[in-house]
Structure 1
Amino acid sequence: MAPIISEINPHLLEGLDPENRGLCTLEATVVTGLEEVACEECKEKLGANCVVARGRLFIDVNPEQVPEVLKLRSIDNVNIVLSMVKNFSFPSEREKCFEQLYMLAEKPDWKKGMEVWRKTLGFEEEPIKEEKLLTQDFCQPRPDIDLKMMKSTSQIVNNIPRALLPKHLKLDEDGLAKEDEVQQPEENDSVEENKEVSHTLDYCLSGPKFRVSCNRTGSGHIFGSPEAARQFGAGINEKFNWPVDLKNFDLEVILYIDNEFVYVALALTREALFKRNLTNFGRTNLRATLCYNMVRLAAPKPGEVVIDPMCGGATIPMEGSLTYTKSFHLGGDNFGQAVKRSRDNIDWLVKKGNSMPIDVAQWDATKLPLREQCVDIMVSDLPFGKRIGSKTDNRVLYFHALLEMARVTRIKTGRAVLLTYDHRSMIKSIKRVHTLWKSGASRTVNVGGLSAVIYILHRTSLLCDTGLRKDLKNKEKSSPVSPGGSATN
């Protein structure tokens, strides 16, 4: 498992040195659990130095290589890191913390970072026209606005003085939040907040419109994420006279706080890179970046046939056909609407000028209309048993699907890369077909907050296990199995 971010040594990242204009440090967010796969792609295509942390990579590249980083298939978002502090000690007084966060705007290497941001996003103006020294101690705190969305389960509720907490966070004598005192958003708060923004916009005459997004983790802080963003944003506003716009912004500044580990970055992606390829969405669409990583784990070779027997919206076959163009990719599903959605998605990509060795069909994943030993690789997102199917159905479906995959997959060289959240059903099914499939490495990944697993299986040299086939036929006679195989991804 990749180390947590606070274990990173900033000195390993040469691009953070303000004097080194030939390198900049980028943060690339990736699917948690697949950091090493993304790192391999980065080294293979860019030859760059990568530092791996949980859910992200830090990459040192030449500023001219940034467009190439944005073309990587395994990363979700890209930010340029301006500064990174490993031991950022926060005082025990809120006012002192606010002062630190406000003055933090003085530390980053804004010029190098903003130049990369301007070239990447095509901002026409020169963003930094003047710099001022910060003269105030900190911005006036507004806990009535900044803390009103905080939940009573937050780790830092008990760290904040009771007098500053909104009504819905104040505890009664039994230590429970009073449900009847949940604070509703008041019109006065919105008016006052809008006045502050309007005043800032009138005062700041030029430069990119910006906002600060704070991602904070840790239980020892005595301030909330919005409070940290307010103070840091106020420091940026005074330093550069940039206008603040929380919705229609040009520039997003990211402040990351993990206990005493702090770094500042600028977003280089307006929209997450995994939102590609699809125009027609199902209920359980898989991220394109996760699809690419699964296909990469299968390592298709030229001329090999790659099949997704439960393709849903064809996210996996499309990503495979766009990146491994010398292999043939085929998807299928038993749900007619999913097949139609797949064709629409493929047609949209073809109209954009993509030449894709791909096709889709409607079939039952437990009874594939394919001859034996004709497929090289199976890559599929199996039903989790949450939105699609159930864990009871999965116990039957997984076993039948693995048997059918073994029938059509080449012995010895065939392999399968399968994703599922239903670990128990999958492990039981793999044990039942151990004569046909040899279990290899597995990777735990974060899929929408669920801890799913990617299983890598290798086809054994046994052509067919007659005992399993007889057992299957006997069970079909006693209780017929309904067709399966819809993932709607």
Structure 2
Amino acid sequence: MALAVNWSPLVGWTGREPDVVTVECSVVTGFELAAQQEVQDRLGVAAAAIVPHQGRVIFDIAGSQLPQVLSLRTIDNAWILVGVIPQMDLTGPEDETLERLIALLPDLDWPRGLAAWRRIFNRPHLNFDSDQGIDSEPIKRVKIIGDEGDTSPDSIPSFRCTCYRTGTGHAFGSMDAAKAIGGAIQDKFQWRVRMKDFDIEVVVNIDISQVYFGISLTHVSLFKRNIEHFGPTTLRATICSSLLKLANIQPGDVVVDPMCGGGSIPIEGALGYRQGFYLAGDYHELACGRTKDNIQALVTRDNKGLPIDGFQWDVTSIPLKTASVDVFVTDLPFGKRSGSKADNRVLYPRVLLSMARVVKPNSGRAVLLTQDKTSMFKSTGKFSAYWKTTKHSYCNIGGLAALVFMMTRTDKMPDDPSSEGRPASTS
């Protein structure tokens, strides 16, 4: 059963501090703590002012810092909250409950939400006053005439209302709530309704017996970046960033993805965690080609170099010097779209042993993502002398329940430390 959000550490949504706002960010379920750490590191938000919840992080921030929220690399979408009702009975008849939800609209902090929206989006042609409330006359006049006499529909904001609902016992569905509340917003503001290419998205979250409202600060999910040439198992950039955050990249670290596919993880590292140097390798010729093309596309776009290089190699015999790598971060084959679980039970221990040779003893570490948990657990005995699992955590990857394994290197060396693997070709 889903748990309700704990609002007590947050004050922005209450309006008691006019310069503080409360922001909700969606993240891939399982990576909430990575996002929380990034909010602390990049935005300077105290841990006490961040509430990690299932698939999201919610935190207080100064209104002037709102544009910086969109620079976070582990989040998918962001909203500013304009109203929170921590406890509300939503178990009544459908019509009655929807009427009570609609009755909340006049008390929402619309001026703060619309002011935040204007900080993010440059839409000077839109004619509404962000300092007015929902029932104020200047907003209602938007339907008829603008301040300069402009009656063009293009000067009237368009919007969409979306509802996300969890929990049971509700007599209404998400679409029912979105339709009723969206209709009430349209009646009050006289904004145009548009399901696509809208200006403003009002989001209603109904969690069990609490309700909160937000205005979206993103029109396109932030994971849509970096990659132009996709493979069959390309990871979202936000997942890659979360894995790298968990790896705790330090200045000067050599970071390797030995099964890089299209290069999603090392490319995200080279862009967002530039304190390290990244090596991308794969055995498949098409994968190496995609990595090369993705790197070149970014270099051309930004007109600057990146701390990354690519190779074609055999992951079971990585052609790097012994103890030359600081960190491995990789997405292991799930045995779904690529390979099989039977193959993984042979592949996983060979990969871990190959990695153990080239990573630095004691200080070396690895962050490994896989959905094939069984193969990993069954293989542990074959590499446990060289790798110690410090933690493993659940995450949701495209609807699949996966695990992230965080490992540290022991001081023991593999039996054949002189083997340097087969030569690699530069991609």
TM-score, L = length of structure 2 = 0.88
Amino acid at match of 1:45: R
1:397-436 correspondence to structure 2 within 5 Å: 397-436=347-386
Kindly tell me: are residues 435 and 90 of structure 1, through their superposed partners in 2, closer, same or farther at Cα, counting changes over 3 Å? closer
What is the root-mean-square deviation of aligned Cα atoms in Å? 2.3
CA distance in 1, matches of 2:133, 2:74: 37
1:133, distance to aligned residue in structure 2 (A): 4.7
Contact 1:114 1:127 in 2 (8 A): no
Q: Give the Å deviation of 1:21.
A: 2.1
User: Which of 366, 370, 373 is the equivalent residue of 2:316?
Assistant: 366
Choose from 184, 196, 209 the match for 1:247: 196
Indicate if the aligned counterparts of 1:219 and 1:259 stay in contact, CA closer than 8 A.
yes
Amino acid at match of 1:6: A
100-109 vs 232-241, which moves further: 100-109
Match of 2:117 in 1: 117
Q: Which runs of structure 2 are paired with 1:344-383 in the superposition (5 Å)?
A: 344-353=293-302, 354-383=304-333
Alpha-carbon distance, 1:101 to partner: 2.5
List alignment gaps of at least 5 residues for structure 1: 135-201, 470-482, 484-489
Task: Give the conservation status (yes or no) of the 8 Å contact 1:26–1:80.
Answer: yes
Secondary structure in 2 aligned to 1:6? coil
Q: Report the number of matched residues.
A: 399
1 CA distance for matches of 2:266 and 2:207?
38
Task: Compute the displacement of 1:465 (Å).
Answer: 3.6
The residue that corresponds to 1:274 in the other structure is 223
CA-CA distance at 1:123 after TM superposition: 2.1
| Matched residue, 1:20 | 17
Residue of structure 2 equivalent to 1:385: 335
Q: Could you say if the C-alpha distance between residues 372 and 205 of structure 1 is closer, same or farther in structure 2, counting changes exceeding 3 Å?
A: closer
- Of 211, 221, 242, 1:262 maps to 211
- In 2, distance between residues paired with 1:298 and 1:132? 46
Query: Are the aligned partners of 1:203 and 1:241 in contact in 2 as well (CA < 8 Å)?
Result: no
Alignment partner of 1:288 out of 232, 237, 256: 237
Give SS of 1:12's match. coil
| Identity score, percent | 41
Counterpart residue number, 1:46:
43
Instruction: Look up the equivalent residue of 1:320 and give its one-letter code.
Output: G
The C-alpha deviation readout for 1:32-52, integer Å capped at 9, x for no partner, is 112112111111222222122
**Aligned counterparts of 1:454 and 1:203: Cα–Cα separation in 2:** 53
Counterpart of 1:85 in structure 2 is 85
For 2:32, the aligned partner's letter is: E
Looking at structure 2, the residues matched to 120 and 203 of structure 1 have their Cα atoms a distance apart, in angstroms, of 24
Instruction: For 1:75 and 1:456, locate their aligned partners in 2 and report how far apart those are by CA, in whole Å.
Output: 21
2:259 counterpart (304, 310, 313): 310
Contact 1:211 1:253 in 2 (8 A): yes
Residues 107 and 415 (structure 1), Cα distance of their counterparts in 2 relative to 1, 3 Å cut = same
Q: CA deviation at 1:204?
A: 8.2
2:343 partner SS: helix
Q: Is the 8 A contact 1:312 1:342 kept in 2?
A: yes
Distance 2:154 2:185 in 1: 14
Deviation per residue, 1:121-179 (Å, 9 max, x gap): 11213434876659xxxxxxxxxxxxxxxxxxxxxxxxxxxxxxxxxxxxxxxxxxxxx
Kept in 2, the 8 Å contact 1:311–1:332? The answer is: yes
Larger fraction in strand: 2
Q: Give the gaps of 5 or more residues in structure 2.
A: 137-150, 423-427
Q: Is the contact between residue 4 and residue 53 of structure 1 (CA under 8 Å) also seen in structure 2?
A: no
One-letter amino acid of the structure 1 residue matched with residue 340 of structure 2: S
- How far 1:352 sits from its partner (Å)? 2.4
Q: How does 1:438-477 map to 2 (within 5 A)?
A: 438-465=388-415
Letter in 2 for 1:456: M
Deviation sequence 1:416-455 (CA, Å, 0-9, x none) = 1110000010112122111111111111111111111111
- TM-score normalised by the chain length of structure 1: 0.77
Task: Give the direction of change, closer, same or farther, for the CA distance of 1:325–1:370 in structure 2 (3 Å limit).
Answer: same
In the alignment, the residues of structure 1 paired with residue 25 and residue 288 of structure 2 have an alpha-carbon distance, to the nearest angstrom, of 33
**C-alpha distance 203-346 of structure 1, shift in aligned 2 (>3 A):** closer
Partner of residue 8, structure 1: 6
Q: Distance in 1 between matches of 2:101 and 2:4?
A: 18
Shift of 1:298: 1.6
- Which deviations, in whole Å up to 9, do the C-alpha atoms of 1:305-360 show, x marking residues without a partner? 11111000101111111233232100111111111111111111111224311011
Structure 2 counterpart of 1:163 = none
User: Cα offset for 1:260?
Assistant: 1.3
Name the amino acid aligned to 1:248: D
Give the 3 Å change call, closer, same or farther, for CA 355–5 of structure 1 in structure 2: farther
Contact 1:430 / 1:439 at 8 angstroms: preserved in 2?
A: no
2:192 alignment partner, SS class: coil
Query: CA separation of 1:349/1:204 partners in 2, compared to 1, >3 Å: closer, same or farther?
Result: closer
Contact 1:128 1:207 in 2 (8 A): no
